[in-house]
Structure 1
Amino acid sequence: MNKSDIRKNALAARDKLSVDDRCNKSSTILNKVLNSKQYLNSDIVLSYCSFRSEVNTAALNESILRDGKRLFLPKTYSEEKVMRFYEVTDLSSLNPGYMGIMEPTGGVDFESLDLEDLFGSNLLKRVLMLLPGVAFDNQGNRIGYGGGYYDRFLEQYGSYMMKYMLAFEEQRVEIIPGEEFDIEVDGVVIG
């Protein structure tokens, strides 16, 4: 199967989940994240605002702020084909952006941080990225929506963080054909 077919089948499987199932599975994922050593050791969390039938991240993002961690959320610049992460301290300040996804309007840009100065050699333990995706396999490969926004961001900044995809079991596939520009995740938090 090619990536387009995998994407289509995985989206259909995810969309078939009932609202109650998505809610329960999202809650399971939230608890797994909040109790993970990667989360507990992190100071900065790059997350996302869920869209359509994705793992719901509203309560997760609230918990990140409540726990006193620095939360960064993405803003997509479709004309430039880039995504930038901005610090968010109040989730009510988000506005609909690209594809209607809630986004920050600006703020401290993740790219402006001097991470090595902030964390030194403990860098990987201190920055955690939680990202969406359409499908994943057991080898750490993932498929997004096809725009390459996360891959481009991670190509530049991925070595500075631990990367975990949030997904439902229904999004698992046997194998995803990798391409040279694909960035693998360090793990998948499954509900």
Structure 2
Amino acid sequence: MILKDEVRKNYIAIRKRLQKHEVIEMSEAVADRLKQLEIIKSAKSIMCFVSFGNEVNTHELIKMWLSEGKQVSVPSVVNSTKEARGMYAVKINSFDELKEAGKYGILEPPLLDCNIITPALLDVVIVPGSAFDVNKNRMGYGAGYYDRFLSNVSQECCKIGICYDFQVLDKIPYEEYDVPLDLLVTEKRVIY
């Protein structure tokens, strides 16, 4: 069986080689498919990752949902000690609230007690990944933040992975603690 780290490194490397115009074009196609989903149209509370590097760009989606009056939250990672490690859904009112933070340079909002959203109250969570499979299994970046977070959302919450179609494989290695998604959206298709 192929090792997780090999798959992860391979697909991150392929994504890094994408040209800027390819990222823009494919991100727009992913966003168009995502916006057509009834679950997105009807969602009141959406948590969405803030893209960086050559990930599917989510910045315009976040701004659009804010302008539509949806409750939007983004991840904030606490990485100080092993015991206090975790990811929180932090409500934002404007994209301008995001500032560069963390060792990865991902934009994050300030983490305050008053802006943390309980995972069980989310309607939709949009998640990133390095690779996915047609059974909606997800391979992240190796830290386990999303798997821990997704294990606390409600049964009604729709977990959606967004990625480029080349990131969707027939089968990826996964563990029992990996949380499968409900949908995958790429520039070419929606996998239910």
Give the TM-score normalised by structure 1: 0.89
The answer on whether the counterparts of 1:74 and 1:83 sit within 8 Å (CA) in structure 2 is yes
Q: Which residue of 1 aligns with 2:60?
A: 59
The 1-side partners of 2:77 and 2:128 are apart by 14
- Partner of 2:5, secondary structure, is helix
The answer to whether the 8 A contact 2:120-2:152 is kept is no
Contact 1:75/1:84 (<8 A) preserved: yes
1:138 CA displacement? 0.3
* Aligned residue in 1 for 2:32: 31
Q: Does residue 81 of structure 1 match 2:78? A: no
- Unmatched segments (≥5 aa) in structure 2: 188-192
Q: Is the 8 A contact 1:94 1:105 kept in 2?
A: yes
Conservation of the 8 A alpha-carbon contact between 1:132 and 1:167:
yes
Large movers: runs of 4+ above 6 Å = none
Structure with greater helix percent: 1
Alignment of structure 1 residues 29-178 onto 2, 5 Å? 29-79=30-80, 80-98=84-102, 99-106=104-111, 107-111=114-118, 115=121, 127-157=123-153, 159-178=155-174
Q: Which amino acid aligns with 2:91?
A: E
Conserved 8 A contact 1:11-1:171? no
SS at match of 2:27: helix
TM-score with structure 2 length normalisation?
A: 0.89
Tell me the equivalent position of 1:122: none
For structure 1, which runs of at least 5 residues remain unmatched after alignment? 116-125
> What residue is the counterpart of 2:190 in the other structure?
none
TM-superposed deviation, 1:81 = 2.2
Counterparts of 2:166 and 2:16 in 1: how far apart (Å)? 10
CA distances 1:83-112 after superposition (whole Å, capped 9, x unpaired)? 00111001111111122110010342112x
Contact 1:47 1:71 in 2 (8 A): yes
Query: In structure 2, the residue corresponding to 1:185 is in which secondary structure?
Result: coil
Asked if structure 1 preserves the Cα contact closer than 8 Å seen for 2:49 and 2:58, the reply is: yes
Whole-Å separation in 1 of the counterparts to 2:52 and 2:64? 18
Matches of 2:3 and 2:154 in 1, distance apart?
25
Q: What CA distance in whole angstroms lies between the structure 1 residues aligned with 2:14 and 2:144?
A: 22
Cα distance in 2, alignment partners of residues 37 and 17 from structure 1: 30
Q: Identity over aligned residues, as a percent?
A: 29
Q: CA, structure 1 residues 180+60, in 2 after alignment: closer, same or farther (shift >3 Å)? A: same
State the partner residue of 1:119.
none
